Amino acid sequence: MKNGARQWLKEVEKWQKKMVQKIKKTGVQPTLQCILIDDLDDVPPKDQQLMRQVFDAFDENGVRFVCSAKHPKTLVAGIKGKAYIQRMHRLPELDMLIVCLRTCVKEHIGFEKDGIQALFKFTKLNLGLVYKTLQEVFTKFAYVSWENVIKITDPGVANLPKPIKVSAQNDAL
């Protein structure tokens, strides 16, 4: 994951350069520069230690970090003192469904009820993953159906032969 931490550091540096350019262009000096990191508790402890060192370096330049975490107690000690930690709670399933359906309507994404149900089932009610998968399905197939969601989320199941329902008919001669 060291490559991931390095890539993250490059992105932070790129963001900081953009901020400096905007400051020069507008002449407005922000009082605080912040970087938001979502789901920091999903980062392994080793990488959290690397990030803590980055936090220290950017802290000297006036950059602050705001991090969200579902389980703040799992964060390494050094992170807790260097960043503002915002405890996050998942949205209730109904609210997530409303957000998803509003997005579909607003962005003119065609969908079926079974497609949305599959989307929520296979993303385990993670709204970020719902959006990512919704975008993948729409970009590839231009329609959110059960079959299209399965093709993205579980291609092995999508390639299984589909059973054919046969009904017996009693024909009287």
Write the DSSP assignment of 10-23 as a string of letters: HHHHHHHHHHHHHH
Q: Which residues contact 91 (CB under 8 A, 6 or more apart)?
A: 99, 127
Domain shared by 83 and 118, yes or no: no
**Tens of pLDDT along 102-120?**
999 999 999 999 999 999 9
Domain holding 41, by residue range, is 23-87
Consecutive H or E run containing 83: none
**What pLDDT, on a 0 to 100 scale, did the predictor assign at position 1?**
43
CATH of residue 129's domain is: 1.10.8
**What pLDDT, on a 0 to 100 scale, did the predictor assign at position 167?**
67
CATH of residue 51's domain is: 3.40.50.300
Tokens for 84? 């503002």
How many helices (H) does the chain have, and how many strands (E)?
A: 8, 3
**What pLDDT, on a 0 to 100 scale, did the predictor assign at position 124?**
83
Decide if 40 contacts 54 (C-beta within 8 A).
Answer: no
The pTM for the full model equals: 0.51
**What pLDDT, on a 0 to 100 scale, did the predictor assign at position 129?**
86
Tell me the mean pLDDT in the region 39-51: 82
In a domain, 170, yes or no: no
Tell me the mean pLDDT in the region 86-110: 87
Domain shared by 113 and 79, yes or no: no
SS3 42: helix
Q: How many domains does the chain have?
A: 2
pLDDT above 80 (res 173): no
Rg (CA), the chain: 23
